[in-house]
Amino acid sequence: VEILAAEQTHTDTSWYQGTADAVRKNLVHFRNADFDWALILSGDQLYRMDFREILERHVASNADVTLSTIPVSRDAAQSFGIMQMDAERRIVRFEEKPTDLALLDTLGLDRDACAQLGIHGDQTYFLASMGIYLFNRETLFQLLDNDLADFSKHIIPQAIRSHRVFSHVFQGYWEDIGTIRSFFEANLDLTSELPRFNFFDMAAPMYTRPRFLPASKINGASIDHAIVSEGCIISHCHISTSVVGVRSLVDIGGHITRSVIMGADYYETEEALAANAVARRPRIGIGKYTRIHQAIIDKNARIGDHCVITPHGKPERVDHPLYYIRDGIVIIPKDMVVPDGTVV
């Protein structure tokens, strides 16, 4: 994986203006590369897909562009780009996040399409874009030879009128985790006994960057329906329906429920711990007798002793020097210091 960070140049001092603009600004790195197709993926989604299947359909359809799509319910349809396809699965119409219910009603999948996809029942389904695009090389360069900013709002509707654009229908687990609520719920779902997304599928294993940390150490703790990453030290506390990230330290008496603890990037040295004591600053991790419910604790946060962090009784949206609340979820930002005795 080679990371191409956003950059400003002498000829263009603007940052990315949208998804299409982000790709356009990086095409300079690929113009001399030898490739036939370009697969464009989103970085804020959780799914498992064999990309060979979308390529096979793309080639078999003689497509210029193929969109990966997924059937969604009427309630969810207004949050996505919704499209219609013909019997050959060529996309003939595209509407970005339709809010007009009368318009939405004209976009539903018909019974033949539902039967072909194995969808049964009386509920109406809609075909939503997953933000996954496969382009022929020349088609990509042609469609981005302009200043249009976004794929779903600008490029794809234009491509439908001028090129052969087809749908590859995906029916596995897929979740857009680009919002606080969706990120939070997707993580908590992984703690259930039979989560909707299975990380333990040996036929298609998931890999992560190795950190070469020791196994987690559990000292007299009660842990129920939780995921505990490597390198943690958890002592005489209660954790339920939560995700505990790498190098997390949870001290005695802690009570953590329905929360995502992102962990830490490093362990503090003896010298750092001594400096914390002099500065009366909590160490990285969760302090003694601290209660956390319905929260996301970002990396390297220092949560003191006897703190209470919960959204109960508070507005859905709060901006505070120590924390934020979004959609009824408390967020403690990265590197934040929450002093002893703080009640959120």
DSSP annotation string for 29-87: GTTTS--SEEEE--SSEEE---HHHHHHHHHHTT-SEEEEEEEEEHHHHTTSEEEEE-T
Q: Extract the tokens encoding 136.
A: 């022929």
pLDDT digits (tens, 9 = 90+) for 268-298: 999 999 999 999 999 999 999 999 999 999 9
Give the largest CA-CA distance in the chain: 72
Q: Does domain 217-338 fall into CATH 2.40.10.10?
A: no
DSSP assignments along 120-154, one per residue:
-SS--EEEEEEEEEEEEHHHHHHHTSS----IIII
CATH T-level assignment (fold) for domain 19-176: Spore Coat Polysaccharide Biosynthesis Protein SpsA; Chain A (3.90.550)
Q: Of residues 207 and 23, which shows the higher confidence score?
A: 23
Looking at the chain, the domain(s) classified CATH 3.90.550.10 span: 19-176
Q: Is the pLDDT of residue 56 over 80?
A: yes
pLDDT, residue 115, reads 86
pLDDT, average across residues 238-266: 98
Nearest to 6 by CA among 100, 24, 261: 24
pLDDT band at 208 (very low <50, low <70, confident <90, very high): confident
User: Model confidence at 169, in pLDDT bands (50, 70, 90)?
Assistant: very high
Region of poorest pLDDT, from 119-128, 187-196, 239-248, 274-283: 119-128
Is residue 109's pLDDT more than 80?
A: yes
Residues carrying CATH 2.160.10.10, the chain:
217-338
Instruction: Give one word for 172, left, alpha or beta, with left for phi > 0 and alpha for psi -120 to 50.
Output: beta
Q: Is the pTM of this model over 0.95?
A: no
Query: Cα separation of 41 and 48, whole Å?
Result: 12
